[in-house]
Amino acid sequence: MADMPAVEFSFVLPVDTIGKARKNLRVVANEAARGALARRFDLIAIDRFVADVTVGRIDDSALIAVSGSFAADIVQACVVSHAPVATSIRATISERLGPPIDGEAEAVFEIDDEDPPAPFCDGSIELGELLAQCLAISIDPYPRAAGAVLESAAGGEEWRAGPQGRCPFEALAILKKNRT
């Protein structure tokens, strides 16, 4: 197996300690983990990252359910002005995990099928990494500071696509006209 990159936020849960009875867990990222995750996600800072999750077996199967919620207070750079933008994120998590599927058999899925469970590795669940991935998809990819204005590339003139505005090709014509 290829070496896995270091996990910034580690909270390992051995699968053999998980029974049918649900376990309630509070997972809190320490300062070092928050700093490493901030670098990974290109954030200015993560001031708080905490999750309350429930973990347990699904019926008597090898599948494990992880559900709950997490909260994070992050600081990002505005995509327009690069000013700090503080954001509070609150989201839920609902994941199914299972042992890796042996073999290279091709799986056939229908569009309406439920997603297959995510595999756990080496008899353990890396709950910290699972939570970090859930945080990553909850981050606004284009944060804007209040009052941030994006100047138009077409010589300061604004353009909008659609019935009220000009089409983007008109903006290209303006650029071409300004270039000559």
* Alpha carbon of residue 110 to chain centroid: 25
DSSP assignment letter at 3? P
Whole-angstrom distance, CA of residue 30 vs CA of residue 105: 41
Whole-angstrom distance, CA of residue 40 vs CA of residue 13: 23
Domain ranges of the chain: 12-149, 150-180
The confidence score (pLDDT) of residue 51 equals 97
Phi and psi (nearest 5°) for 17? -95, 0
pLDDT band for 166, please (50, 70, 90 cuts): low
Whole-angstrom distance, CA of residue 64 vs CA of residue 120: 9
Contact between 19 and 56 (Cβ < 8 Å): yes
Whole-angstrom distance, CA of residue 55 vs CA of residue 65: 6
Say which residue the tokens 């997490």 belong to. 70
pTM: 0.75
Each residue of 87-146: pLDDT tens digit? 999 999 999 998 887 755 566 777 777 777 888 888 899 999 999 999 999 999 999 988
Each residue of 38-69: pLDDT tens digit? 999 999 999 999 999 999 999 888 899 999 99
Measured over the CA atoms of residue 97, residue 34, residue 51 and residue 112, the dihedral's sign is negative
The confidence score (pLDDT) of residue 101 equals 74
